[in-house]
Structure 1
Amino acid sequence: MAWSRKLLAARAAVGLTTLVAVLSVLTGILHIGNVTFEAIIPLEPYIPDAIQRTAGFTGTLTGFLMLGAAYGLKRGLRVAWYAVIVLLPFTALQGVVQSSPVSLPLVALSLLSMPTVALHRQQFDRELALSTTQLAAAIALIGTQAYGTVGTYILRDDFQDVTTILDAFYYTIVTATTVGYGDAHPVGPEGRLFAMSVVVFGTASFAVALGSLLGPAIEARLSKALGKMSDSQLELLEDHVLILGDGELTAPVVSGLQDSETDFVVITANRERVSSLSERGVNSFTGNPSDEEPMRRAKIGNARALVVATNDDAQDALAILTARQLQPDIRIVAAATDRENVSKLRHAGADTVISPATIGGQMLVDSALGGSDTTVPGLSNMLGDDSSET
């Protein structure tokens, strides 16, 4: 299925990025710990010792940045794709500089990941939409760090072991995060007053930033538990069939679409049913089948057809009216629970309306009379272009 192939390609890019990130962190930690390895390619004559010693620290930092980028790829963010494209050459280069047996897989996997991620750029087209809280947290975090660094450097005479801008930056980090190693500390009254302000502003900004990051993650977990497809899955929907409701016809419709390898998604208000469908690998989420919001989330604008079968003709009519308003050109097939409502559903905007009771009765009559053809006239028109009432 086209949707499945896109999802598989996106997962491959995310998986490779995550593996590169983990390897980068592990190799960096091993080199930070002064673990000695026999170099595969001796680089001492060509690369200064300071750069080789720093490769472990930068490799670990790059690995953590790659983990963040991999999470962004999982959400389909374009900015995460750019970040991965920029970071992958660095992970490969750091592996070459380390030139040890444990860094060789890092180099190979980084080089392998570059074309894989680059070729699937179209899968990551979501813009980074930050909430007001997240923007405020980012501004507060950056502002506090800049305030602490510049202020500490200006007042460096009132601080012990602070002589450079790097020392000031280091002091601000350990103070704002409440680590407080004690090596750099204020010794004068102005320095102490300034240090207190850094503690207050720093802890507040870090708390706000942490809440803004954890809040969406917790919300995503709750959404999954409540029966909702992830945003990355919904973004990949295209040329699919949208099934509204969970009626008697849902099971055979789902089976038929699976057999035909057609992408589809089910919207139903029954959470237990969503859980059951999800366990079978069926794309579904909880929502009112007649509301606009679930239809928009399920990308009705990209859908090829709509099947309405809720076992409630009144709700079916409302769902048809809503869908027709959102997407006037989409083909709509509906099932009428009561035969007398067939014409009503068609007037509501359905292209094809079937009555399961009428179809079943006609097939029983044909079978009882020994007819060789038990195909119900008009049933084949469901997937055609002409309207029919069956």
Structure 2
Amino acid sequence: MGMDRPRNWLGARTTILLPVLVAVLSFVTGVVNISAVSISGPLGDLIPRSIQRTAGFTGALTGFTLLVSVVGLRRRLRIAWYATIVLLPVAAVQGLVQNSAVTLPFVGPVPSSAVSIPLVVLSLISLPAMLLNRRRFDRPIDLSTAQLAAGAALLGSLMYGTAGSYALRDDFTNLSTATDAFYYTLVTASTVGYGDVTPQSQQAKLFGMSVVVLGTASFAIALGSLLGPAIEKRLSEALGNMTDAQLDLLENHVLVLGHGDLTEPIIEELTGAIDFVVITPDTETATRLQQQDIAVLTADPSDEEPMQRAGIEDAVAVVAATNDDAQDALAILTAQTLNPEVNIVAAATDRENIEKLRRAGADTVISPAVLGGHLIVQSALGREGMENIADHLLDVNDEDDADI
């Protein structure tokens, strides 16, 4: 229950960092192989020609998709966990396929093992880490009605454009397959419009105009639904709040419930020693702490919801040290209910509240006023060494910080 609990090297941060490295290596490997004419290594005869031609850009695409999955992992989404579990073996297979001699135009055979072998190894290492931390990624995807509608509109417009242009393929130039139809719909709806596929009949032109209207509208709606959360994030930071992604990565940290005169020296001691989150209802205080790069959540420190958001189930300790013992007692009672195993330390402003804070669930209760008064009185009575005792307490705290 102490603060010297060792860090879990296969925790959430490591589990998320490994797919990031795999994504970067997959992207680099894909770029290295994207201009390959053929793969002629030991696996060359086993790989179909179509796969050889697409091995490069699909590797880069896998890397990009993995990065998108990592964004979901940061929010502990279950669907992101499933996507990563699928993509990691794909990245490993692509690395194995591309671990051959790549024939480049005007250059000749070039080995790509410098990046493909680390890609395979990291992909295989990442899988056990993901499986061991499966329980951490248990949050269902939470899409608003507007986001669902935006996704449905975008998907519907792409399906409409692809099916319609393929049905009218005889009225278009350079359009003969479903892939051509999807390509035309995508570049038209996104307003890129390369001009290589053009309508020839009146009916095809009218259909093309409908694709422009529906496609651009659906893209605009989808973009708005994506920008909304980003704007909300900016507002949260301006109000002194951590984002959900930042909160979800916390583990083996300390929760500081409330903020007062006693809290400032506690924050100074914790800074740089261990991760911690301050929960305070004061917006001005939260903003000031946020500007000092201190993790803070603007909420009532005695409520269950902010404690759960701040990851009390993964915390090593809870500290309640404000100027209001009654508020501290409520916060301690809630924290003890949510995580009976967590070490709870409280500072009592009034000495008569020491037992009350213990009954509320605090494991350790310290009265700074009583402790300081005792040292001062003993010094006034001529007891020697009181100052040395205070210095010794500070030295012990420094040693404990070094062990964290």
Normalised to the residue count of structure 2, the TM-score between the two structures is: 0.74
Work out the CA distance in 2 between the residues paired with 1:354 and 1:326.
Answer: 18
Within the candidate set 96, 116, 125, 1:106 is matched to 116
1:272-326 CA deviation, whole Å, 9 max, x = no partner?
2344363xxxx54444545665334224566676433233x3xx52453366367
Amino acid at match of 1:143: G
Q: What are structure 1's unaligned runs of at least 5 residues?
A: 377-390
Structure 1 pair 353–71 and aligned structure 2 pair: CA distance change class (3 A):
closer
Work out the CA distance in 1 between the residues paired with 2:260 and 2:60.
Answer: 53
Structure 1 match to 2:288: 272
SS in 2 for 1:167: helix
Structure 2 match to 1:321: 330
Amino acid at match of 2:28: L
Amino acid at match of 1:308: A
**8 Å CA contact 1:159, 1:186 repeated in 2:** yes
**8 Å CA contact 2:320, 2:332 repeated in 1:** no
Normalised to the residue count of structure 1, the TM-score between the two structures is: 0.76
Deviation at 1:242, TM superposition (A): 2.8
Work out the CA distance in 2 between the residues paired with 1:201 and 1:193.
Answer: 12
Work out the CA distance in 2 between the residues paired with 1:302 and 1:27.
Answer: 37
Amino acid at match of 1:119: A
Structure 2 match to 1:307: 319
Structure 1 match to 2:129: 119
**8 Å CA contact 1:148, 1:172 repeated in 2:** yes
SS in 2 for 1:267: strand
**8 Å CA contact 1:336, 1:345 repeated in 2:** no
Q: What are structure 2's unaligned runs of at least 5 residues?
A: 103-110, 391-404
**8 Å CA contact 1:305, 1:332 repeated in 2:** yes
State how 1:1-390 maps to structure 2 within 5 Å.
5-6=7-8, 9-34=11-36, 41-98=41-98, 99=100, 100=102, 101-121=111-131, 122=133, 123-224=136-237, 226-235=239-248, 241-254=254-267, 264-268=276-280, 269=282, 270=285, 271-276=287-292, 278=294, 283-289=295-301, 293-300=305-312, 306-311=318-323, 313=324, 316-318=325-327, 320-321=329-330, 324=333, 328=337, 334-337=346-349, 342=353, 349=360, 355-371=367-383
Work out the CA distance in 1 between the residues paired with 2:185 and 2:355.
Answer: 70
1:137-177 CA deviation, whole Å, 9 max, x = no partner?
21111111111111222233333333322222221111111
Deviation at 1:204, TM superposition (A): 1.2
SS in 1 for 2:86: helix
Taking only aligned residues, the RMSD between alpha carbons, in angstroms, comes to 3.8
Equivalenced residues, count: 365
Amino acid at match of 2:25: L
Work out the CA distance in 2 between the residues paired with 1:133 and 1:258.
Answer: 40
Deviates more, 1:59-68 or 1:215-224: 215-224
Structure 1 pair 354–342 and aligned structure 2 pair: CA distance change class (3 A):
farther
**8 Å CA contact 2:30, 2:56 repeated in 1:** yes
Work out the CA distance in 2 between the residues paired with 1:59 and 1:219.
Answer: 33
Deviates more, 1:136-145 or 1:108-117: 108-117
Work out the CA distance in 2 between the residues paired with 1:342 and 1:349.
Answer: 10
Structure 1 match to 2:402: none
**8 Å CA contact 1:161, 1:184 repeated in 2:** yes
1:338-364 CA deviation, whole Å, 9 max, x = no partner?
66x748975995757654333322221
Percentage of pairs with the same residue: 53
Structure 1 pair 328–8 and aligned structure 2 pair: CA distance change class (3 A):
closer
Which is bigger in relative contact order (C-alpha 8 A, separation at least 6)?
A: 2
Work out the CA distance in 2 between the residues paired with 1:4 and 1:142.
Answer: 47
Deviation at 1:114, TM superposition (A): 2.6
**8 Å CA contact 1:18, 1:70 repeated in 2:** yes
Deviates more, 1:190-199 or 1:262-271: 262-271
**8 Å CA contact 2:93, 2:120 repeated in 1:** no
**8 Å CA contact 1:27, 1:103 repeated in 2:** no
**8 Å CA contact 1:274, 1:286 repeated in 2:** no
Structure 1 pair 31–2 and aligned structure 2 pair: CA distance change class (3 A):
farther
**8 Å CA contact 1:10, 1:120 repeated in 2:** no
**8 Å CA contact 1:88, 1:110 repeated in 2:** no
